[in-house]
Amino acid sequence: MNGATKGLYLSRDIGLLSHWKTALQDTKGKALNGLNDIPPHSISAPSLLWVDLATPQLPTWSHPDWAALLRHPQLRVIAANSYPKDAEAVTALDAGCAAYCHAYADANTLRQVEQVVRAGHVWIGATLMQKLIQTANHVTTHTAEADAWAANLTTREKQVALLAAKGASNQDIAKRCDISERTVKAHLSAVFEKLGIADRLQLALKVHGIQ
């Protein structure tokens, strides 16, 4: 989703709406009271829908009213909660949301979420990302072709990828490989591009043969 993106904000919390619009520097964004305010046929340009999950009477993700919105080619949904929970995040992402974050995250974080989602990727918090990577590490699906993912990687790229897939930070990888963190980032960028993936979670799934 590139170019100008329309901001839609579903919440009845005036303070939260103000926080979102100020953080995202969006003076033209539209505030909504419920799903009925956004009929799918009215969305004709790339749009981001920020959803306050504390909104009263908000339907569950399985409700028919969500189906057309979550599958709309011009709309990406960002779920947010002032009291984020990992289980709720997984449910939202599984339903088709492009992101899950703390509703009152700082401005820099909210802008990062916006940028990642606009680029067509999925955003999840660092804590949940780490837990999912750890879960992937415990899944045993190794086969004779399990290392095929590394066929086009250099020896160093594979080494960095394996460490990242096990949850090692850039700093840890730099120390183990005796290289700079900047070099680690460069290797990971090359790995992501060669494997056609966007983040460490997808890397973990790829390395462990889950994806």
For the chain, list the domains and their CATH numbers: 6-123 (3.40.50.2300), 130-207 (3.40.50.2300)
Q: What is the pLDDT of residues 129-170, one digit of tens each?
A: 666 666 655 554 554 455 788 899 999 999 999 888 877 888
How far is Cα 132 from Cα 108, in angstroms, rounded to an integer?
24
pTM of the model: 0.67
pLDDT > 90? residue 211: no
Q: What is the pLDDT of residues 39-96, one digit of tens each?
A: 888 898 899 999 999 999 999 999 999 999 999 999 999 999 999 888 888 889 889 9
How far is Cα 118 from Cα 126, in angstroms, rounded to an integer?
19
pLDDT > 80? residue 201: no
pLDDT, position 156: 95
pLDDT, position 3: 47
